[in-house]
Amino acid sequence: MAWENILLEIEDGIAVVTINRPKVLNALNAAVLAELDAAMDQLAADDQVRVIIITGAGEKSFVAGADIAFMSQLSPMEAKQFARKGQQVFSKIENLPKPVIAAINGFALGGGNELAMACDIRIASEKAKFGQPEVNLGLIAGFGGTQRLTRLVNPGMAKEILFTADMYDAETALKIGLVNHVVPAEELMNFCKSMAKRIAARGPIAVRLSKEAVNDGLEMDLEKAFIHEADLFGLVFTTQDRAEGIDAFLNKRKPEFKNK
């Protein structure tokens, strides 16, 4: 597929998806969402891809939010459909059977923060800025922000972020649990790729089932989540990778996982 709004690079089992609209700080519109959607389908189906990194083009912005000029033309029904499309694409990222790392290189505001929250792991440049500024425009977060934010930070902090439209620096984002790490700007992609390589070297089925166990368990009570975990633990014992991993450990060699 020919991409107009994103860049897609794949090397050594790691895919880097770059939102490529730097002139508008990588703002999200319907076309960007459609390409992100298609890219996630392509990467999910590619057995050579083990880990995905999502970032933004340029030095200023990861994604500065939804495209305001685009949204200004929407009717109420079109706005609802746009929100539902964003929710669907971000949920696809959240539930993709492969780990997704957000490399947050600058502004992650509104839809950009919502995109980052849909990723499994968030790594921020020290220059990154975060916020949900929708109420400044008389809007609310519409791509899952009111729901994911409360699950990542405590509900009171989530409400403060949503109600005030304040912008937060990377260290504050780290302190409240919105990101995993903060690194110097010039080290961001190397840090993300290094983590992606470590993940890619692990058993891919085990990584996928670990993600499934976490995501599904968040929606269950604890005892049901334990049962689900045990089911997946039993399932992984049916795989060739499990046998390979244990044999490699016992014989003090590096495992060669086949994703089988």
Where in the sequence numbering do the catalytic residues fall?
114, 134
Distance between CA atoms of residues 53 and 18, nearest Å: 8
**Helix, strand and coil percent figures for the chain, each rounded to 5:** 50, 15, 30
Take residue 252 and report the two structure tokens written for it: 């003090």
**H or E element in which residue 71 lies:** helix 68-71
Which residue carries 């790691």 as its tokens?
14
Write the CB contacts of 162 (distance below 8 Å, at least 6 apart in sequence): 132, 134, 135, 140, 141, 145, 146, 149
- Which amino acid is located at 161 in the chain? I
Residues with Cβ within 8 Å of 119's Cβ and at least 6 positions away in sequence, in order, are 54, 93, 94, 100, 101, 102
